[in-house]
Each structure stands twice: as C-alpha cells, then as structure tokens.
Amino acid sequence: MIKNYLHKSLSVHFSPNIINMKNFLPIILTLAMSSTTLSVSGSTPESANTSANTSASASAPASANAPALGGKHLKHSIIPEPQVVVPLDGAKFKIDSKSVIVAIGCEEMNSATFLKSYLQRYYGVDVVVVDKLPARESDRKAISSVIQLNLRQLAGIDPMPNFGYDLSDLKREGAYHLQVGAAQATLTGANPSGLFYAIQTLIQLLPVPADQNITAITPNSATASSAKTSISGNSLYLPQILVVDFPRFEYRGMHLDVVRHIYSVDYVKQYIDYLALHKMNYFHWHLTDDQGWRMESKSHPLLNEIGSWRAGTIIGIFPGTGVDSTRYGGFYTIAQMKEIVEYAAQRYITVVPEIDVPGHSMAIIATYPHFSTTPEIPKQPAITWGIYNRQNNVLAPSEEVFKFLEDVFNELMDVFPGKYIHIGADECAKKWWEESAKTQEFMLKYGLKDENELQKYFAKRIADIVHARGREFIGWDEMLDDGLVKGAVVMSWRNVENGIKAAELGHKAIMTPIKYSYFNVAQKRDEDTLCHRAWFAPVDSVYLFEPVPADVPASVAANIIGGQGCMWTEYFPHKQRLEYGIFPRFSALAEVYWTLPANKNWPKFQLKLVDQFDRYDLWGANYSTEIFRSAGFDRNRY
C-alpha cells in the first residue's frame, strides 16, 4: 500500500504499516522528542518575552507540577502538529472560575465564546469573557489568570532559525501565535481564522481526561486513562509553551454523505465541530444521489415527496442478503441548511454542497421519469448500492432538464454562500446514452461527437450557472476523461495522478485518493465490520500520504490547493458506526494537510494518539483501537 518509510533520523526501515512499538519504543521516543520541538530552559527567545511570563502564585497545588500533557514522554500532543513548538520551563498556567478571557471585538468574541463553551461543556469550568480588564487594582488581583485574544499582523515575530518558515507564512489565512506563561496566555491571530485555530491549540493543551470518573457513551470508554489528569478541583493546569503556526494548504476538508444514511442537524453540527477541533476549514456535504434527494426544493417540491424517500435498504455488504421493507429517507429544510451554514461559519468552515449529476440521478428520474433516457420504465430511488452500469441512473439531455438543473443549482446557491459548488460529474455510465435514440438526436443537433463530449456539455451548462453567480465549481476526477471545462476544480478520488494531471493543466486540484482518504474502507486486514473491504486504508497509510510528490514542479504544486477525507455512509447508518470509521484516521488526515512535511513525525504521532483517544472519550466519540493492537502497545501505559 505504501512505500517503506525511512525517517531521516533512523537507520532502519519501518514496515509498510504499523510500527511495533514494543520493539522500537526507545528509538520512537527519541524521535518524538526531537521532532519540531525546541526545549528552552532559563531565558526564553526574545520574541517570547511578553507579559505572559509573569511569576506564578506562590501556592500552586501539587497537581500544577504534574507531568506535561502527553504523560512522561511528550511535552505536548497537539494534532495537527504546529510548525514551531517551544516548551518553556516554569510554573503551570491555571484556568478556573476566576480566569478571564479578554476579547475586544466581534471576531475575538466569536473565538472566546467557543473556548468558554468548550471549558463549560467538557470541564465544568465557567470562565468570564470581558472586553477589557478591570481598572481597579483590587478587581485585577481577584483574577487568577488572563487569556488575551488579539487580532493583528504577525510580522513582528522574528522567524526562528532552522524552522523552515519566513514572514510571508505568518500572513497566511489561519496563521497564529500562541504563548502560555505562568499567569497569562496570549493568543494572536493574523486573521480571524488564525485566532480561532490558536484557540484549538490551547484546547489541546488542556489535560485529558477531563475527570477521573469520566464515562464516555461508547464501549471504548473502559480503556480511557486517568493517569495524566492535571486537574485539581475545578482548576486546569497547562504547560508554558510558545507556538508559531500556519497551515500548509488552503483547503483542508472532510466530506459526509447524508444520502445513503441521513444524519440529524444536531449530529451534522457535531461533525462540523470535529472539523473545527482539527483546524479543518471545508465541509463537503453530499446532498443528492441515487438513494435520495436530501435538500428542500421550493421550485420542485416533488423531489421531497418522492425523491427523498426509498422503499427499503439493502441488508449486508453489496450485493447483500436481501432488502428490508422499511421506508427510509428525509431531507433538510432550507432553514436547517442555513442553520448549518451559519454554525460552520462561526467555526471558519465553508460548506461545499453537492448535487451529483448527470449520473447518480436515480432520485431525480424516479421523481421525473421523463428526465430519463428510458421514461417508459418505472423507477424508484435506489434501495441498493453499486448501481453504476447496472441500472439506468443518468439524466437525458434536453432543454427541460437543463432548466431543472438551473433551478435546483440556483436554489442551492441561495442557501450556500461559499465559493465552491460541487456538481458531481462522476461515474456516469455512457451506455444509457448510447442506447437512447433521443439522446443521439440531441448530440447530433448540438454537434457533440460522442458521449464523452456530452458529459462535458453537461458540465459546461452547469458551470455557466455556477459562474453566473460568481462561484467556482468542483467535480470528481472523471471530468478529466471527458476534457475539462474552463474553471473546473478537480477533486481527485481515483488516484493521486489525476490530481497532478489537473494541476499540470492549470486547474485547481483537491486530493482525496481512495486508498489514503476514504474512511468507509477497511482499516485493518481482518476487518469484521461492514465497510468496503476491497480497499484497505490503515491510519499509517493516511498519515504518511504525501499530496505533492517530491518530483512535482513548484508551478504545478501551486495548483494543488489541499485535500480532504471522505465518509460515504452505505455501511455507516448511525453515529457509533460512522465514528468508528473516521477516528483516528480523521486526526491523521488533519496533520497531512496542516503540517509541513519536515515537521511531521509518524512515531511521535502514534504517541500523541494516546492523548487524542482520551479526547475522543471526552467528546463522547467512538473510534477504532486497531492502531494499538497493530502497534503492540497499551494506550494506558504511555
């Protein structure tokens, strides 16, 4: 699956999959401690001399001197790994009910609200948010610690030697600086999203688990460690640290298919929170497919009466052992979709909605049979998966169909204000067009020499609709087979090469190759749960994936704007199953698209997962523990 991985500081080859931690632990610990972390004793760098380095109170409890986050081995377990991390010596920073967050503007207040809510929800610590510190000295003395939120240019922070960044990196969208001292934590964003990401890093410095008696809602809660807690009463203690950070890629996303199985508005929000906590900024929402139409349509309400519901669902792995008789479906109202858009925007996440055409259209043609190349044959929303090239699910070209597409894509853009609109354009079986006399007449009339040109024509007509609204359109990499329409953004799922090819042609490319990025496939060789078992994507394959191979010229690499993971839900009907599929691969992917390659460290990442799994428990999330079985070590020990 992946090439042997040779760490620059290690003289042995790791296996293509999981390192056996019991055999390599001494070496792993050496690498993990030497990754991107610079330990500082005594004096700090000149750029670190801020008011945060004030002396601690004289009576800090014993828990304030507990080992740093990550147990006895790691100074921190931040995921994704920041570009520069400098642990600082000194007494720990305390957060309690007497702490204040200082936020002077609307954007600062947005980030402050997220942090306040997180502390209250997961730790029961209620901090105060203010726009300035009190004027009276007696009131200031009553404050135990200050979390100062700032928005300003980071140009004044001098680049530190040998860390591989310059001042231009500090101007990127999402760049931030964080310093935790004894009595003050200062978080500075180069822009609002950067400040929000500084909040996420501060959150990952919080001790886990939140309570020694915490009980998660999953069966895995029994494995949670309570040895690393740094909590005393209602006080939290964080290590002193300096972080300078910015994202490698501009597009860092996760996808969710709500067609095969639909998820509640509340859970979609929880999923978006998972993105936010991993510093991801695009949520790709797959809203239509053969099995259902999941967005409310005012212009075509029959889509919701007919297309949003299927008569049953396949049992087991395709081709299945039968079909249940339970009517299944639903859709999101316009109000609900707008609510989700706003929720995501508060977390600096853009929703990328998808209407998948001209293939994957069974829900549409079940509603409007005359949109099919075989209108005389009755159809219904698909009750099974895998109908590509087996059942006729393609739209027939006609001006009525294109008017329909104009209506629904404009409805989509009325709800979703983001710059990217996904049009699908994948897995469109050409044989249904070849066999249709009316389709052949349309092609002759419009001068289309073959079915590939017809699919490109579909993409061009939809592109015109999207471009007329000032947006950009994304499509799956099958668009390359037909010839790319001007302005197409290619989402490369079949392999890495198609993304590179699109970039070479001058198009933006988003990487999501199936064998590194699809979380509905097996994550262990002996997978016994429902999933696509023909593919295998263990967590190390995800983590070690490099979106821009070394031999790609810089001019081409500039067009690869990032990537995402995909969660198709054929075999993931509820929260526990879905989260088993995404975690911890989701966390590995976050580091792929945020962290510069020189700062990634697979041995260290494995150790960071010990704390990350405690965070999953804290969030009430489910997960796969395969990484620990394969690597041969106990998450409670390290």
CA gap 298, 293 in Å, rounded? 13
Amino acid type, 81 = E
Residue 622: strand, helix, or coil:
coil
Query: Which residues on adjacent β-strands are paired with residue 625?
Result: none
The pairing of strands 292-293 and 288-289 is: antiparallel
The residues near 400 (Cβ < 8 Å, ≥ 6 apart) are 370, 371
Spatial contact of 490 and 498, defined as CB atoms under 8 Å apart: yes
Burial class (CB in 10 A: 0-12, 13-18, 19+), 40: middle
Q: Which two tokens stand for residue 100?
A: 């204040």
Nearest to 330 by CA among 402, 282, 267, 418: 267
List the catalytic residues. Answer: 289, 360, 427
Q: Is 408 exposed, middle or buried (0-12, 13-18, 19+ CB in 10 A)?
A: buried
Q: Which amino acid is at 218?
A: T
**Phi and psi angles of residue 422, each rounded to the nearest 5 degrees, phi first:** -95, 130
Look at residue 579 and give its three-state secondary structure.
helix
**DSSP strand E in 457-605: where?**
472-476, 489-492, 509-511, 521-522, 532-536, 560-565
Query: Which amino acid, residue 594?
Result: W
Rounded CA Rg of the chain = 26
Q: How many CB atoms lie within 10 A of CB 525?
A: 11
CA-CA distance, 453 to 477, in Å (whole number)?
15
